[in-house]
Amino acid sequence: MPQSPDGWPPACSPRSSPPGSPGWPSFRIIDSATTGEVLRSLGAIPVTGIASGPAAVQALRDGTVTAVESNPLSAVENGYVQVAPYVVVNAPLFAKTTTFAVNSAKLASLPARDADWLRQAAQQAAATEATSATDRTSWGEQCGQGLKPLALTGQQLTALQNLEAPTYADLAGDPPTALAVDRIGGLATSEPRMDAWATCHGVGVAASPTKVLDGSYEITITQSDVVASGDCTDCGNAGTAVVVIHDGRYAGHGVGAPSAPGNPNEPSVAFFKAWLPGDPSEVGTVSITGNQVTFVPETSQPQGSAPSTSTFELFHGLLTMHLLSGQGIDGNPPWRKLS
């Protein structure tokens, strides 16, 4: 939560001085190498070692830090809203989840009854969290304390993604992390970008920026298509692929995943060994300007995925795209809309 809208993020207010120079915003964060990397890529200075509560409030008041990392409940309880009232509602820097983590080998060694208890506890905890009114209540309290939500424009969001690209690629290079990001990204294609109640007086609530293309699409890629594209011929790139587009997000299924045939000795095939058939093999963001659509992958960079921009036409359930820049499938066959 920053003190002023200019304090988050630098992508919104480009600066010419080197990162770390006077005037760059500083963020009190929960110590995390990834969080620090994300903030440095945006030109901000991550700060640790400042305790939550009065110490963080004082650091905000005297300018030691510009913003603090906080959840709604802590922001209310610690008095952050009064000194740092601004929050961006449509572009969280990262997802945070509360999890039950169990070693697979240990879980398999437990008696069946005990393993079932653990699974039941995890399912009940997830269901309770999903229906809890705690976050909504805390958000309402923040609004009462003077919270000022902000929403990034499409241009600002694109700038944010470009600056974060190296961090995305870094995370995507680790298979367990890439799988977690893919699964979270897959969930994002079935949920709104933000909760309708995460606002004060309607600020930040908007229709899907990709409404014209939201849906599921299917395409069949033949081996001859793969050969013509110059891709690896035994990397599992032929077959049926499905892409789901929803509220500025996309998830690609099929090609490159375990369900697609491929030489298991190829690194790009072996990378996906832990993926289940229903897991996306790539997720990312989608933006539309006029008749042009841009896909920015957040995973699969190790397999050669890169941002691409194409013109598009959706007619009678067929989506035709012609590549303008980047990497992608150009022209025929068109994608068939499933839903």
Cβ neighbours around 287 below 10 Å, total: 18
Query: Could you list the pLDDT tens digit for every one of the 339 residues in the chain?
Result: 676 655 444 444 444 455 445 567 899 998 888 889 888 888 889 999 999 999 999 999 999 999 999 888 888 899 999 999 998 887 777 766 667 778 888 888 999 999 999 889 888 888 887 788 888 888 889 999 999 988 888 788 888 888 888 888 888 999 999 999 999 999 989 888 777 788 887 776 677 889 999 999 998 887 787 777 777 777 777 778 899 999 989 999 876 555 556 777 777 778 888 888 889 989 999 989 999 999 989 998 887 888 899 999 999 999 999 999 987 766 668 999 999
In the chain, what are the domains? 1-148 (3.40.190.170), 151-339 (2.40.128.280)
Contacts of 149 (CB under 8 A, 6+ apart): 86, 87, 88, 89, 198, 199, 200, 203, 204
Strand partners, 133: none
Write the DSSP string, 25-45.
-EEE--S-HHHHHHHHHTT-E
pLDDT at residue 305, rounded to an integer: 86
Question: Which residue type sits at 4?
Answer: S
b/e burial code for range 249-278 (CB count within 10 A of at least 16 → b)? bbbbbbbbbbbbebeeeeebbebbeebeee
Look up tokens 């080998």; give the residue. Answer: 105
pLDDT at residue 15, rounded to an integer: 47
**What is this structure's pTM?**
0.79
DSSP 3-state of 154: helix
